[in-house]
Structure 1
Amino acid sequence: MPVDRPVALDEYPIHQAPLSMKHLVSGDRNAYDRCIFHVFDHAGRAVLILGLGVYPNAGVIDAYATLRIGDELLAVRASDALTDDRMNLSVGPLSIVVDVPLKQITLRCAPDSDDPHGLSYDITWTAEFPAVWEPHHIQRRGDRLMLEGRRFVQAGNVTGTIRAKGEEFTLTAGEWSGTRDRSWGVRPIPGEEGGRAAEEYRPDGFHWLWIPVRFADRFVMVIAQEDADGHRTLNEAVQVFPEDSGRADVQLGWPHTEIRYRPGSRHPVSAVVHLTDPSRKPLELGVEILNSSPLAVGAGYPPAGDWQHGTWQGRGWSDRRVYDLSHPAAHPMAAFGVTDHSARFTLDGQTGHGIFEHGSFGRHDPSGFADYSSVAP
């Protein structure tokens, strides 16, 4: 049995409980601490999504990267036993290095010598705006706390190289953007018996929008989560300026979104987000979808059937595969998960780029969806 000893982080005055930094205050099996990055070009050719997470009470660290180009999605996933070295953010070929906290981060995926056309990258993400807190996220099923997360979001530029399918993408600050989200707390990982809560408190519907947008002189963040009736349980609309501008964050009211869906689906084609500045002047954030990457395909988000975050795969597990996205029917469960769309945005005569993350399943009265089978006409 391993000997219980202090770890390196215990040297620093950062404790918030009378415990070693390797021990979590909560014993909840669903405790997590993770990140997600979006790297995308402004023409809609490619969307790279990558992330890394630790699940302390499950003893797991894992990471993933997916690249959508054309009708294919290339995925790299890796998982291993969590060690005491929490500063080492690497799993298999995937790594994240915090060069300067909140300022600069290096993202890498090592090439596979057995697959010269597989995905690899070496990217430097550089912040252009300060990180901003997202609303405290709480979700219950009955009386059971299913999700509680502290999160922040940030936008910046990206430079470096992505290689895949014999093609090399050179990332430049003017033609590519990068957004990121950091979160920690509790959220479900597979393997837990749902019990009474799953049987008696199945939600009628879920409607989600998470929209970080990088403009030349500002960063706009919009969040909205609604239930089947349209009752909003999470809300945010804020405008953030560069740190050296001296300008305070500006709240943009209660966002309302009109989404135009592809007929016969809930796949957005375009949207308008209605905002309001402090003087009550109406603002319109226009959205044009450029490319799309379903998180339930390759990236490990529910309801993925081949791999999900936090699940024990054994030591040193890694996996590479290519998904064909040319026929949506080939991945039917993706429609019941969240999809991240790279998009072109307009606001106050300016053009920006960001992510239009959207999931809508089940009943949502404001959108006219009656049940889980409902789609746009």
Structure 2
Amino acid sequence: MLTKGDDYPIHQTPEPIAYAGSDRNFYDRYFFNAYAPDGAAFLAVAYGVYPALNVADAHIAIVKDGKERCLHASRILGLERMDLHVGPISIDILEPLMRLKVSVAKTEGIAGEITFEGRAFPIEEPRFVRRNGPRLFMDYTRLTQNVRVSGWVEVDGERIELSGWVGTRDRSWGIRPVGAPDPQPTPGGTFAQFFWQWSPLNFRDRSVYYHINADADGKPWNTRAVILEDGAGPDGGFHTEAATMAMELIPGTKHARSGVLTIPMDQGAATVKIEPVATFLMRGIGYGGDWRHGGLKGELAVAREDLDCENFDVADMGNLHIQAISKATLSVPGQPDQRGVGVFEQLILGPYRPLGL
């Protein structure tokens, strides 16, 4: 079947672009977030296509005053990957790798027009490859880009102007578990441990990025830290795989009370102190819950969901994956400190001995 994508030089197999190889877990996703300079309000958007499942879905969530108001949408893809809309949520690529726009037609009290403009050329994170026993669990690439944000969102009649907001967008594609889980377990392939942190931070004239996947003993199997000045091109910035994050957990939880990122540099170590101020539950944009990515909901389904992101069950598996909206202080030897804002994403499943888990 030929589709609009076949007229673009983006094929990845000898077949038409509608087909993405043989792995049913292939996905292609957009993610966006944005936040007020003081962290008092936050929004996130996810948009994914799952070619082998023939599903597309989209989500938007707005966090304010301890409440997370979410709009979910899912549709049958119909093999056409170039129509970037699901129900009321759509994406326009205004300038590839630099400016994208998310539109939400008013539905269930939520609407918006949000433009994300890159502060520098996106960074490419190291390719994520991980096996779970004999099966390929992850194999994907992600680009990440901090952004300046403009436009507005409306929630239940309250219009929020986004002037002065900043945030992050990413694009990832490849293989991850999506849709319904496999009904037949694989001997030797039991998924028992996962440690993940991701912290893109916005400062006055630069961005800091950090992520880590580690095993139960704290040994990283994928990690990178980047300090990137505004306007930098594809080869810009300082990159290292030697950064470390020290964190203090909130008692009785797997979520951070605070964190200190240390980035070794030629002139001495830079540090970033991270102070969470609010919580965004990732289930609000399809990371788990009833609206998990790639789930089949029929020809078209749209629904609103409201979550309490201040008083929630910390032991509920669906609430483990969060982004903590955070204030941050960057200290680089020989330079004045800079204060900024960003997120501290966290997901800890199973044991992680460096934190006593």
TM-score calculated relative to the size of structure 2:
0.92
1:31 alignment counterpart: 26
The AA in structure 1 aligned to 2:222 is L
SS of 1:334 mapped into structure 2: helix
Q: Which amino acid aligns with 1:207?
A: F
Deviations 1:197-239 (A, max 9, x none): 3x64435432211111122222211111112111211110112
* CA shift in 2, pair 1:366/1:203, >3 Å: farther
1:258 alignment counterpart: 246
- Compute the displacement of 1:260 (Å): 2.1
The 5 Å alignment of 1:146-295 reads 146-173=137-164, 176-193=165-182, 195-197=184-186, 200-243=188-231, 248-277=236-265, 279=266, 281-295=268-282
Distance 1:166 1:363, change over 3 A: same
Deviations 1:305-361 (A, max 9, x none): x221111100111111212334222882234x3201121111120112211111123
Q: TM-score, normalised by structure 1?
A: 0.87
Aligned length: 352
Flag as ranges the 4+ runs of structure 1 deviating above 6 A.
none
Unmatched segments (≥5 aa) in structure 1 = 370-377
Tell me: CA distance 1:330–1:134, structure 2 relative to 1, closer, same or farther (3 Å).
closer
CA contact 2:121–2:232 (8 Å) conserved in 1: no
1:106 aligns with 2:101: yes
The superposition leaves residues 230-267 of structure 1 with CA deviations (integer Å, 9 ceiling, x where unpaired) of 12111101122233689832124512211122222222
Residues 97 and 105, structure 1, Cα contact 8 Å, conserved in 2:
yes
CA RMSD, 1 decimal: 2.1
Name stretches of at least 5 consecutive residues in structure 2 with no aligned partner: 332-336
Aligned residue among 130, 133, 140 for 2:131: 140
Q: Shift of residue 188 of structure 1?
A: 0.6
2:311 aligns to what? Answer: 327
Aligned residue among 8, 13, 34 for 1:17: 13
Q: Distance in 2 between matches of 1:55 and 1:193?
A: 16
Match of 2:324 among 313, 337, 341: 341
Identity, % of aligned pairs?
30
Distance 2:303 2:151 in 1: 24
Is residue 47–residue 69 contact of structure 1 (8 Å, CA) maintained in 2? yes
SS of aligned partner of 1:329: coil
Match of 1:365 in 2: 353
Q: For each residue in 1:108-128, what CA deviation from the matched residue of structure 2 results, as whole angstroms up to 9, or x when unmatched?
A: 11112xx4xx22211111111
AA at the equivalent of 1:287: I
Contact 2:38 2:341 in 1 (8 A): no
Q: Which amino acid aligns with 2:89?
A: L
* Alignment equivalent of 1:301, drawn from 287, 295, 306: 287
2:3 match:
7
